Amino acid sequence: MAAMSALDAFSIDAMLPALDQIGADLNVVVENQRQYVITALFLGFSIGVFFYGFIADRIGRRAPVLFGFVMYCIGSAACIFADSYSMMLVGRVLQGVGAAGPYVLAIAIVRDSYEGEEMARMMSLIMMVFIGVPMIAPFVGQGILLVSGWRSIFIALALFAVLTGIWFWQRQPETLPANVRTTLDARQVKQSMAEVLTHPVSRYYLLTIGLLAGAFIAYLSTAQQIFQDMYGLGTRFPIVFASLAAMFGIGSFINSRVVEKTGAVTMVKLAICLIIAASVVYLLMYHTMHALPPLHVHVAYNGVVVFCFAFLFGNTTSIAMEPMGHIAGAASSVINSLSTIIAIAVATLIGSQLTDTGHPIVIGYLVMAIVALALVYTAEQLRPKEHP
């Protein structure tokens, strides 16, 4: 499950050191448009996850996952042979459609087997394992660039997908029994969407996931511009990015140990509050500066924020999914698809504001965290009361 979930992360982070070369080779004139290599994958992801869950609830988990791996390899081939930026983006969208299947159905497979705080703990453990990919992927991408061109990175991504797909095919049994599978029709899709969107907990946490993920995607899509171009890190960029990814791994491990005792909702609130506090301090210290803040300060700030996100992604998804156990695949599709669409819009807006400092990213974190905190408190006030 961790390898399946990591396919999406590998597809993002391995590309970061290559954005300059891709932009130069494919004639990208506007610097901020290089971010589309990242957001295009998320666009395909948002399309794919909407369908995989519904299909998986009808025919089981295994076949859609394997189809996703095949689609991912087709998208990788399109990127390998791309001779224009538009063709590159089409390939990235197809990669996103393909990666969505393994990712979203990994969540559904976990939900088939676990629930509540135990599910949150398992999700956190999966995140702790696959966090190694964001730590090593930029090194892989940078290493490939030193000996070959950026197209070879896509060859490596395709090989990863093939190996993981074979592993899944050989080792993972079906987790959805035939006697509990649902029918697949337009009415069922509408009913599932309506159930997710009308349940106060799922609805507000869906919005929370979208806003927070948007700020985080903006960080990912602009990391190369900020650290390599603005701070001039060059080939040292993977070191900084890996150190920040390590903070996510540490946070995931801590969350896995304390979430069952403390509660997922409490962990989410604390993490959001810490992001708000760190962002306010950063902006108060450096909002009047006409130069970049010191590198160590910017890295430290991002380290705190990335650490906090380790307490957000798994927990918010688990909370949003908790009332939807009877339609786990469909609910996972709706929640992931709609939240990703929201996230793409937020990330594109934040990323387009990037100029000569990383302040737009900090402001984006702050604003999205404040709104997310309000949504969490609203969701908890509207949570249906449990009868003794």
CA distance 41 to 32: 16
Q: What is the pLDDT along the chain (388 residues), one digit of tens a residue?
A: 888 888 888 899 999 999 989 999 998 888 888 999 999 999 999 999 888 877 887 888 889 999 999 999 999 999 999 999 999 999 999 999 999 989 888 877 887 777 777 777 777 777 666 777 888 889 999 999 999 889 999 999 999 999 999 999 988 888 787 787 777 677 777 887 888 888 888 899 999 999 999 999 999 999 989 998 889 998 899 999 999 988 988 888 898 889 888 999 999 999 999 999 999 999 988 876 667 889 999 999 999 999 999 999 889 988 988 888 777 667 877 888 899 999 999 999 999 988 888 889 999 999 999 999 999 999 988 877 654 4
Q: How many CA atoms lie within 13 A of 339 on its CB side?
A: 31
Q: Is the CB of residue 27 less than 8 Å from the CB of residue 85?
A: yes
Rg over alpha carbons for the chain, rounded to the nearest Å, is 20
DSSP state of 329: H
- CATH second-level architecture of 2-172+188-382? Up-down Bundle (1.20)
CA distance 277 to 212: 15
Look up residue 141 and give its amino acid.
Answer: G
Query: What are the structure tokens assigned to 111, written together?
Result: 């939900």
What does each C-alpha distance from 216 to 153, 303, 306, 361 come to in angstroms?
Answer: 23, 12, 8, 9
CA distance 307 to 131: 12
Contacts of 190 (CB under 8 A, 6+ apart): none
Domain boundaries, the chain: 2-172+188-382
Query: What are the structure tokens assigned to 222, written together?
Result: 């602009």
Q: Is the CB of residue 372 less than 8 Å from the CB of residue 320?
A: no
DSSP state of 230: I
